[in-house]
Amino acid sequence: MAAETGRYRSAVSKSKDPSGLLISVIRTLSNSDDVQDRETEKGRLEEAFEKCDHDLDEQIVQHYAELTTAIRTYQSITERITSSRNKIKQVKENLLSCKMLLHCKRDELRKLWIEGIEHKHVLELLDEIERIKQVPQRLEVSMASKHYLHATDMLVSAVEALEGHLLQVEGLGDLRLELHSRKLNIHLVLIDELHRHLYIKSTHRLGHKNKDKNARGPGSAGRDVSPMPLLDGSSLSTPRKLMDSSQFSTPGAGSVREDGREADLPEVDPEEDSQKFMGILIKGLSKLKKIPEAIKAIMERLEPELKQIVKRSTTQIADHAYQRGENLAQESQPRLLLELLELLFDKFKAVAQAHSVVLAQLQQMVKESPSGAHKEGIKLYEQADVSAKIQTVLQWRAANETAQRI
């Protein structure tokens, strides 16, 4: 029995597991038949318990502050965890309630969402229709102020909308016809403006320079005046061009400035830079897809326009001679003919330079065209064509002069 007790105590001293110790004690008491050994073991356990209780009290006394702080912290953490659990439980209940309510109102919400999208689209269409209804008035203002590119963009976009997603709007039928008709004819205005800059605007300053030069030269007063033979062709004006009196005015004099002018239109005269203005006209014709028609009109009107320059120059020389008091007798005709040739050479040179600008713009438009020149049927003319026509007109003028002398 003593040997068993020693083995037990050795096992207890080596073991640090409380459950293992308890099992060893129970096994020892169960195997022991001696009451004295049981009492001894009981006394030993009571002694160890009292010692442990005493050590625990000492530890509590020594670490009372830390123990109090730990207990309070644990209590606070426990309260916060409990509160968070309650809040999460409440959130879950609210989400379940919202889910149930949304499920019940799902069809109604979908209907309201679709109606909102439809109303937004209708408002956008109404705003677009209102803007398109103002296009004719805005187009008049832009055309009158010669902002042709802005007018072309506005007209093309309006017609595309009217013939596209607004095609089924019955109330826009008259407006659709009106804008479509304007789109079919606006390129004629651009072509006329292009010819005005090619043949009149480019040579306008040359006529005034020649006049100033002749005014500074010596005059021959007291001679008979007979300018009528040289004025036979002066009454033939360039088609749709010389009827405009603004062509002989200073830049910007033909532009209409209205009080209802759009805010997005610049105040600068668009014709101030003739080369830039011709580029704008080419861009407008490109947007209208009328480049082939423009090239055809340029080639058809090239020779008549050059002849009109000859006639206007002849009239200018005769008028300047009359203002200087000179007559058109046989002896003064060689000098007047020389002045005429000098003026014609200067004007034809200016016309050729203007055509080079137009050709450069046309070539740029063809390069930027996504379908290419061949698919659109665009066949550009060349600078040699202009030179050939100029030579033909000069030969025609020389033949007329020879016929008059004969």
Give the best-scoring range by mean pLDDT among 169-173, 189-193, 369-373: 189-193
> Averaged over 312-326, what is the pLDDT?
81
pLDDT recorded at residue 299: 92
pLDDT recorded at residue 298: 93
Both tokens assigned to 220 = 């021959």
Q: Measured on CA atoms in the order 246, 251, 255, 257, is the torsion positive or negative?
A: negative
Half-sphere exposure of 177 (CA within 13 A, CB side): 4
Q: Distance between CA 44 and CA 49 in Å, rounded?
A: 9
> Averaged over 274-285, what is the pLDDT?
92
Residue whose entry in the numeric block shows the structure tokens 């597991």: 17
Task: Using the predicted structure, report yes or no on whether residue 195 has a pLDDT greater than 90.
Answer: yes
Total Cβ atoms within 10 A of residue 102: 10
Q: Distance between CA 37 and CA 209 in Å, rounded?
A: 146
Taking only the tens place, the pLDDT of each residue in 172-183 is 888 989 999 999
pLDDT recorded at residue 401: 64
Task: Using the predicted structure, report yes or no on whether residue 327 has a pLDDT greater than 80.
Answer: no
Task: Using the predicted structure, report yes or no on whether residue 115 has a pLDDT greater than 70.
Answer: yes
> Averaged over 183-202, what is the pLDDT?
92
Taking only the tens place, the pLDDT of each residue in 215-250 is 444 443 333 333 333 333 333 333 343 233 333 233
> What predicted TM-score, i.e. pTM, was given to this entire model?
0.60
Q: Taking a C-beta distance cutoff of 8 angstroms, is the pair 159, 179 a contact? A: yes
Closest Cα partner for 285 from 192, 187, 144?
187
Both tokens assigned to 231 = 């004025």
